[in-house]
Amino acid sequence: MTSEELQALLARGLEELMGIDPSGLSVKSLIQEDLDIDSLGLMELVMWVEEELNVEIEEAEFEGLSTVEDMVRLLSRYLETADA
C-alpha cells in the first residue's frame, strides 16, 4: 500500500469516526493541535485502522505520533513487516 493510499485510508477513518473534513488534511497536520484528536480519539482511530488493514499495532508505537505523516510511516512499517 502506498503512502498516498494510507493517507486516503486515514482521511476516510477521520471522516467516519470524528467527522473531520478530509479536504483540510495534509501529511503535516498535527493530530492533537490541528485535528483536535485526544489520546482516546487516537486510540479509536488506531483500532479502526487495525481492523481495516488486519494488523495489530503496539500501543507504545502510536503514543508518540504527532502528525498524519508519522502515522503513515508507522502503518507503512507495519505493513512491510506483515508482508515479510
User: So which residues are the catalytic ones?
Assistant: 38
Burial classification of residue 13, based on how many CB atoms lie within 10 Å of its CB (0-12 exposed, 13-18 middle, 19 or more buried): buried
Q: Rounded distance, CA 38 to CA 25, Å?
A: 17
Q: Rounded distance, CA 23 to CA 40, Å?
A: 23
Other beta carbons less than 10 A from residue 14's beta carbon: 22
